[in-house]
């Protein structure tokens, strides 16, 4: 009788231990699954907003390289914001603008013509605007933006001038260091795409294709 009791007790203990192991494994699996499900939320939470202020630290430059004249214009009144997740820069969004009246070419009369209704028409269309629509990475490129290192990027965007929006592709670099973000990019636009016609009298002095470059300094909000 005692032997039977001991065997029954031993069997019960073994079953209890087996059940305990199964529960531990199930609990472990549940924790792993919960952690995996939480990862996207953590990634989104890491996105930060960076603000570009019209304080003269950020600049936009355009160059018209025509047969008879090269014209360079600048604006130091660029403003806007970006939302950037350093863990995945493909999720970057943002937009920027520069007032047409802020454009300067070192020639007051030319600036007046540039801002007038025959050209950019600052009164009707007060701002030139750029909106990021996509950040493109190569197949082997990591989406991570590392602190203190320059990162080459290719950005698709929507450029608006003279009330007309057109897609553009910009090539540039991004550097990030804590609360500071710097973006440099270059792209080209065609005046005719934005319904800006060059009068025949100045056609050899104003190019249809304009090279645009930006140097943006943004601070975490």
- Which tokens hold the place of 148? 């203190």
Question: What is the per-residue DSSP string for 104-126?
Answer: B-S-HHHHHHHHSTTTT-TTTS-
Does position 4 have pLDDT exceeding 80, yes or no? no
Report how far residue 166's alpha carbon sits from residue 160's, in angstroms, rounded to the nearest whole number: 6
Q: Give the pLDDT band of residue 25 (cuts 50, 70, 90).
A: low
- Which tokens hold the place of 197? 């016609």
Would you state the pLDDT for residue 19? 53
- Which tokens hold the place of 8? 């029954």
Tell me the domain boundaries of the chain: 1-43, 46-220
Report how far residue 161's alpha carbon sits from residue 67's, in angstroms, rounded to the nearest whole number: 24
Would you state the pLDDT for residue 40? 41
Would you state the pLDDT for residue 20? 55
Sign, CA torsion 140/173/149/92 = negative
Report how far residue 19's alpha carbon sits from residue 22's, in angstroms, rounded to the nearest whole number: 5
Does position 147 have pLDDT exceeding 60, yes or no? yes
At residue 165, the 3 state secondary structure works out as: strand
pLDDT in tens, 121-131: 999 999 999 99
Q: What is the mean pLDDT of residues 156-171?
A: 98
What is the CATH class of 46-220?
A: mainly beta
Report how far residue 208's alpha carbon sits from residue 76's, in angstroms, rounded to the nearest whole number: 23
Helix (DSSP H) and strand (DSSP E) numbers for the chain = 2, 10
Provide the β-strand partners of residue 88. Answer: none
Top-confidence residue, 198 or 35: 198
**Rounded to two decimals, what is the model's pTM?**
0.77
Does position 17 have pLDDT exceeding 60, yes or no? no
Would you state the pLDDT for residue 45? 46
Residue whose structure tokens are 């319904």: 195
Cα–Cα distance list, 83 to 80, 91, 98, 209 (Å): 11, 8, 19, 30
Does position 32 have pLDDT exceeding 50, yes or no? no
Does position 82 have pLDDT exceeding 60, yes or no? yes
Residue pair 124/117 in contact by the 8 Å Cβ criterion: yes
pLDDT above 70 covers a percentage of the chain that reads 80
Report how far residue 109's alpha carbon sits from residue 203's, in angstroms, rounded to the nearest whole number: 17
Q: Considering just the CA atoms, what is the radius of gyration of the chain in Å?
A: 29
* Mean pLDDT (the chain, rounded): 86
Q: What is the mean pLDDT of residues 101-114?
A: 96
Top-confidence residue, 3 or 213: 213
> Nearest 5°: phi and psi at 104?
-130, 135
pLDDT in tens, 40-49: 433 444 789 9
């Amino acid at each position: 009788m005692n032997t039977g009791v001991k065997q029954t007790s031993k069997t019960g203990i073994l079953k209890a231990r087996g059940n305990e192991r199964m529960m531990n494994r199930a609990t472990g699996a549940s924790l792993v699954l919960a952690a995996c499900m939480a990862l996207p939320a953590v990634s989104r939470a890491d996105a930060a907003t960076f603000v570009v202020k019209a304080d003269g630290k950020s600049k936009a430059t355009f160059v018209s390289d025509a047969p008879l004249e090269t014209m360079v214009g600048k604006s130091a009144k660029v403003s806007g914001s970006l939302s950037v997740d350093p863990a995945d820069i493909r999720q970057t969004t943002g937009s920027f603008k520069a007032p047409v009246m802020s454009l300067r070419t070192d020639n007051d009369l030319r600036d007046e013509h540039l801002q007038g209704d025959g050209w950019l028409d600052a009164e009707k269309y007060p701002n030139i605007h750029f909106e990021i629509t996509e950040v493109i990475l190569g197949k082997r490129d990591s989406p991570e933006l590392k602190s203190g290192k320059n990162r080459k990027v290719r950005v698709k965007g929507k450029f608006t001038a003279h009330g007309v929006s057109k897609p553009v592709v910009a090539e540039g670099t991004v550097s990030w260091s804590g609360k500071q973000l710097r973006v440099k990019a270059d792209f080209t636009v065609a005046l005719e795409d934005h319904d800006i016609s060059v009068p025949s009298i100045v056609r050899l002095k104003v190019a249809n294709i304009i090279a645009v470059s930006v140097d943006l300094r943004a601070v975490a909000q």
